[in-house]
């Protein structure tokens, strides 16, 4: 049984991290231009950890993986992502990247970004499977990024609408939002906030008995297409709504869309609203997860209820 631990890097871990970086990068084939990772030493690593932090992975007490952080605006940049070759194939990289993403969410950062070399197909495939998208290419360097989830505890319906209204300012024609959550949790309340932010016509109510409504813009922006997939039997029935005709020109919101609407577009926002056990409590848990290259390039930024 493997004893794998991921810890926040501190000054006492510097020597172990340097060792992991050197072992990892010295085992890779020589690239042109070569990586500068082997120039890392105790001084440079200590400075990086002191400024931005990093992670160290240990397996059975031995250093097995490491990553250094940088922060650029609201982006967590991963540097020197390293797995000691003696510990490859044991989940080190996945555990490390998962923890790095948790760090980004905890710090309120919108995206995670890193550089991978196009000549290393296994590395490229790893980042693709982790949900990262190429947002830029600079020579042999592929710039990968991934939008981070936004999580909020929302005390009132008014604040739920305010969050959605702020999000609406980041939406454009062609965007798809898939809403999930308990009955009465606040999915329609969230959509009302989107409608207010998009400045569309008509009252937004639950479309349960209509399935789909179109709310035209009052300001020259995209329309809001509001769909309820609760009674649909599968993607074929969703496809029968002919949403393709409006997808590129509107913002499409699909309530109860989990497991159905993901196929509508490679880029989407998965929005989950859940309620507590107490029916008298208005507090809701909200999670907005960006998916796809569109959101990898921009991320989602919400200031409402943001922790200082």
Q: Which residues neighbour 297 within 8 Å (Cβ) at sequence distance 6 or greater?
A: 133, 135, 145
Residue 169 has pLDDT above 80, yes or no: yes
Residue from 193, 168, 195, 166 nearest 302 by CA: 166
Confidence of residue 248 (pLDDT cuts 50, 70, 90): confident
- Residues 65-80, mean pLDDT to the nearest whole number: 98
The Cα–Cα gap between 267 and 293 comes to 7
Average pLDDT value for residue range 73-77:
97
Nearest-5° Cα angle at 38, 35 to 42: 140
- Name the 3-class secondary structure at 271: strand
Query: Tokens representing 120?
Result: 């290393």
Length of the chain, please?
308
pLDDT score for 34: 87
Q: What pLDDT score was predicted for residue 184?
A: 84
**∠ CA 300-306-308 to the nearest 5 degrees?**
130
- pTM of this prediction? 0.91
The per-residue pLDDT for range 83-134, each reduced to its tens digit, is 999 999 999 999 999 999 999 999 999 999 999 999 999 999 999 999 999 9
Helix axes 187-198, 157-168, angle to 10 degrees: 40
Strands 212-215 and 150-154: unpaired
* Mean pLDDT score, 266-272: 93
- How far apart (Å, rounded) are the C-alpha atoms in residues 100 and 258? 26
Among 70, 148, 69, CA closest to 106: 148
Please determine, for residue 188, whether its predicted confidence score (pLDDT) is greater than 50.
yes
162 has pLDDT over 50 = yes
Structure-token pair, residue 95: 């555990």
- Position 233 scores a pLDDT of 47
Q: Is 295 left (phi over 0), alpha (psi -120 to 50) or beta?
A: alpha
Residue 144 near residue 127 (C-beta atoms within 8 A): yes
* pLDDT confidence tier of residue 265, bands split at 50, 70 and 90: confident
Asked whether residue 173 carries a pLDDT value surpassing 70, the answer given is yes
Please tell me the distance from the alpha carbon of residue 177 to that of residue 182, in angstroms, as a whole number.
Answer: 17
Cβ partners under 8 Å of residue 193, min gap 6: 160, 161, 162, 163, 164, 165, 167, 168
pLDDT band at 217 (very low <50, low <70, confident <90, very high): very high
């Amino acid at each position: 049984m493997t004893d794998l631990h991921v810890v926040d890097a501190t000054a006492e871990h510097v020597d172990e991290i340097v060792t992991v970086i050197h072992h990892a990068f010295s085992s890779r084939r020589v690239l042109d231009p070569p990586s500068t990772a082997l120039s890392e030493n105790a001084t440079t690593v200590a400075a990086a950890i002191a400024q931005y932090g990093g992670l160290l992975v240990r397996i059975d007490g031995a250093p097995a993986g490491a990553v250094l952080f940088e922060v650029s605006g609201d982006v967590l940049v991963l540097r020197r992502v390293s797995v000691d070759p003696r510990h490859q194939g044991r989940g080190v990289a996945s555990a490390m990247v998962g923890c790095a993403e948790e760090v980004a969410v905890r710090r309120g950062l919108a995206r995670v970004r890193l550089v991978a070399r196009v000549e290393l197909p296994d590395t490229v495939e790893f980042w693709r499977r982790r949900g990262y998208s190429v947002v830029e290419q600079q020579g042999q360097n592929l710039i990968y990024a991934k939008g981070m989830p936004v999580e909020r505890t929302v005390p009132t319906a008014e604040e739920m609408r305010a969050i959605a209204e702020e999000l609406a300012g980041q939406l454009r024609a062609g965007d798809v939002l898939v809403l999930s959550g308990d009955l009465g949790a606040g999915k329609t309340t969230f959509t009302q906030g989107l409608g207010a932010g998009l400045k569309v016509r008509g009252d937004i109510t639950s479309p349960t008995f209509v399935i789909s409504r179109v709310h035209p813009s009052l300001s020259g922006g995209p329309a809001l297409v509001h769909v309820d997939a609760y009674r649909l039997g599968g993607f074929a029935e969703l496809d029968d709504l002919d949403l393709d005709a409006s997808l590129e020109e509107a913002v499409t919101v699909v309530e109860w869309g989990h497991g159905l609407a993901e196929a509508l577009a490679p880029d989407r926002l998965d929005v989950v609203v859940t309620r507590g056990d107490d029916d008298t409590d208005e507090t809701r848990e909200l999670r907005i997860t960006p998916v796809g290259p569109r959101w990898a390039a921009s991320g989602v930024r919400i200031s409402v209820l943001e922790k200082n």
